[in-house]
Structure 1
Amino acid sequence: MALGVLESKTDPKPPGTEYLVDTAQTSAGHELEHTNFKHGKGKKTDIILVPQPSNDPNDPLLWPTWKREVAFAFLFFNCIIFAACPGPMVAPATIGLALQLHVEVKKIALLSGYQLLVVGALGPIVSVLAQKYGKRPQFVFASIFGVIGTGICIAGFDQPSLPKSYDVLLAGRLVQGLGTTAYESLSVAAIGDMFFLHERGLRTALLVLTTACLASFVAICAGTIFENLGARNLFVILLPIQAFGMLGNLLFMPETQFKRPIAVAGVASSEEIQEKQGGNSTTEEAPSNSSSTVPKRSFVGDMRIFSGVYSTNNMFKLLAEIFIHLFNPAIVWVMLVSAILVSCFVGVSYTLAQIFTPPPYGLTVAQNGYFFTGALVGGILGISAGPLCDFIARTFARRNKGIYEAEFRIPVCIFAVILFAVGWFTFSWALSHPQYNHVYLCSFCYGAVSFGTSVASTSAGLYILDAFKKYSTEIFILQMMIKNFLFYAFSTFVNDWAAEKGPANMTRTFGIVTICGFTTCIPMYVFGKRNRVWVHKMWTRYLGEKE
Structure 2
Amino acid sequence: MSTSASSEEVKTEPKEMVDVVTPSLKVAGTKNGDIILVPQPSDDPEDPLNWPMRKKITIFACICLAGFAAQMSPNSNQLTFIEQVPAYNKTVTDLLNSVAAALAGWVAGPFLLIPFVAVIGRSAVVFWSLVGVFICQIWGAEMTGVDDYIPFTISRLFCGLFGGIPAIIGSGYIIDMFYLHQRGKAFAVFEVLIIFAVVGGGTLGGFIAQTNPWNYVFWWTLGPVGAAIVLVFLFVEDTTFSRDPDVPTRAALPKNWFANRVATYLPGTKTQPAGKGAEFVKRAITPFQITFAPITLLMGTYIFVALGLPIMQASTLATYMQPPVEAGGYGFSSLQLAFFTMTAWVGIICAQVYGYFFNDTAPLWLARRRGGTWHTEYRLANTILPSILLPIGLGIWGSGLQYHLHYMVLALASFLIWFGALLALPVCYNYVVECFLHNPVETSVSLNAYRVTFGLISVFIVTQWQSAVGVGWMWGMGAFFIVFVDIIMAGLIFKGHVVRQWTAKLSTTIAVTEDGVTINRKAEDASA
TM-score (norm 1): 0.82
Equivalent residue, structure 2, for 1:515: 483
Q: How many residues align?
A: 485
Equivalent residue, structure 1, for 2:7: none
Residue 294 of structure 1 deviates from its aligned partner by: 7.5
Measured on the aligned residues, the alpha-carbon RMSD in Å equals 2.9
Identify if the C-alpha distance between structure 1 residues 179 and 162 changes in structure 2 by more than 3 Å, giving closer, same or farther.
Answer: same
Equivalent pair of 2:101/2:154 in contact (CA under 8 Å): no
Question: What code does the residue aligned with 2:284 have?
Answer: L
Equivalent residue, structure 2, for 1:322: 287
1:124-169 CA-partner distances (Å, limit 9, x unpaired):
2333222454211210111110111111112212xxx4122x2332
Equivalent pair of 2:68/2:167 in contact (CA under 8 Å): no
Equivalent pair of 1:213/1:377 in contact (CA under 8 Å): no
Question: What code does the residue aligned with 2:337 have?
Answer: N
Equivalent pair of 2:67/2:164 in contact (CA under 8 Å): no
Equivalent residue, structure 2, for 1:287: none
Equivalent residue, structure 1, for 2:303: 338
* Secondary structure of 1:47 counterpart: strand
Q: Which moved more, 1:401-410 or 1:40-49?
A: 40-49
Equivalent residue, structure 2, for 1:380: 349
- Among residues 48, 62, 71, which one is paired with 1:60 in the alignment? 48
Q: Give 1:42-57 correspondences, 5 Å limit.
A: 43=31, 46-57=34-45
Equivalent residue, structure 1, for 2:57: 69
Q: Give 1:457-472 correspondences, 5 Å limit.
A: 457-472=425-440
Equivalent residue, structure 2, for 1:210: 193
Structure 2 unaligned runs (5+)?
1-9, 11-15, 514-528
Identify if the C-alpha distance between structure 1 residues 263 and 450 changes in structure 2 by more than 3 Å, giving closer, same or farther.
Answer: farther
Residue 69 of structure 1 deviates from its aligned partner by: 0.6
Residue 81 of structure 1 deviates from its aligned partner by: 1.1
Equivalent pair of 2:62/2:236 in contact (CA under 8 Å): yes
Structure 1 unaligned runs (5+)?
1-21, 23-27, 265-292
1:272-321 CA-partner distances (Å, limit 9, x unpaired):
xxxxxxxxxxxxxxxxxxxxx97984434543222333573353344233
Residue 398 of structure 1 deviates from its aligned partner by: 0.9
Equivalent pair of 1:156/1:167 in contact (CA under 8 Å): no
Equivalent pair of 1:467/1:532 in contact (CA under 8 Å): yes
Equivalent pair of 2:343/2:412 in contact (CA under 8 Å): yes
Identify if the C-alpha distance between structure 1 residues 29 and 339 changes in structure 2 by more than 3 Å, giving closer, same or farther.
Answer: farther
1:156-202 CA-partner distances (Å, limit 9, x unpaired):
12xxx4122x2332232223223213113221232111111111122
Question: What code does the residue aligned with 2:427 have?
Answer: S
- Among residues 411, 414, 422, which one is paired with 2:381 in the alignment? 411
1:358-415 CA-partner distances (Å, limit 9, x unpaired):
3152211221222212111111111112431201111011112221111000111110
Residue 443 of structure 1 deviates from its aligned partner by: 1.6
Equivalent residue, structure 2, for 1:100: 87
Identical positions, percent: 20
Identify if the C-alpha distance between structure 1 residues 520 and 500 changes in structure 2 by more than 3 Å, giving closer, same or farther.
Answer: closer
- In 2, the alpha carbon distance for the partners of 1:34 and 1:429 equals 60
Identify if the C-alpha distance between structure 1 residues 32 and 505 changes in structure 2 by more than 3 Å, giving closer, same or farther.
Answer: farther
- Among residues 244, 266, 269, which one is paired with 1:261 in the alignment? 244
Q: Give 1:227-238 correspondences, 5 Å limit.
A: 227-238=210-221
Residues 1:173 and 2:160 are matched in the alignment? no
Q: Give 1:473-492 correspondences, 5 Å limit.
A: 473-492=441-460
Equivalent pair of 2:109/2:165 in contact (CA under 8 Å): no
Residue 76 of structure 1 deviates from its aligned partner by: 1.0
TM-score (norm 2): 0.84
Question: What code does the residue aligned with 2:154 have?
Answer: A
- In 1, the alpha carbon distance for the partners of 2:433 and 2:357 equals 16
- Among residues 351, 355, 368, which one is paired with 2:316 in the alignment? 351
Question: What code does the residue aligned with 2:227 have?
Answer: F
* Secondary structure of 1:163 counterpart: coil
- In 2, the alpha carbon distance for the partners of 1:424 and 1:30 equals 53
Equivalent residue, structure 1, for 2:202: 219
Equivalent pair of 1:350/1:495 in contact (CA under 8 Å): no
Residues 1:309 and 2:297 are matched in the alignment? no
- Among residues 350, 353, 361, which one is paired with 1:391 in the alignment? 361
- Among residues 334, 344, 357, which one is paired with 1:365 in the alignment? 334
- In 2, the alpha carbon distance for the partners of 1:250 and 1:428 equals 46
Question: What code does the residue aligned with 2:320 have?
Answer: I
Residue 47 of structure 1 deviates from its aligned partner by: 1.3
Higher relative contact order (CA 8 A, sep 6+): 1
Identify if the C-alpha distance between structure 1 residues 540 and 146 changes in structure 2 by more than 3 Å, giving closer, same or farther.
Answer: same
Question: What code does the residue aligned with 1:38 have?
Answer: K
Q: Give 1:417-428 correspondences, 5 Å limit.
A: 417-428=387-398
Residue 247 of structure 1 deviates from its aligned partner by: 0.7
Question: What code does the residue aligned with 1:135 have?
Answer: R
1:419-443 CA-partner distances (Å, limit 9, x unpaired):
11220111122222113xx211112
Residues 1:80 and 2:72 are matched in the alignment? no
- Among residues 387, 400, 414, which one is paired with 1:430 in the alignment? 400
- Among residues 146, 161, 177, which one is paired with 1:162 in the alignment? 146
1:432-478 CA-partner distances (Å, limit 9, x unpaired):
2113xx21111211111111111111111111233321132222111
Question: What code does the residue aligned with 2:239 have?
Answer: T
* Secondary structure of 1:520 counterpart: helix
Question: What code does the residue aligned with 1:163 have?
Answer: D
Residue 352 of structure 1 deviates from its aligned partner by: 1.6
Question: What code does the residue aligned with 1:162 have?
Answer: V
- In 2, the alpha carbon distance for the partners of 1:456 and 1:211 equals 14
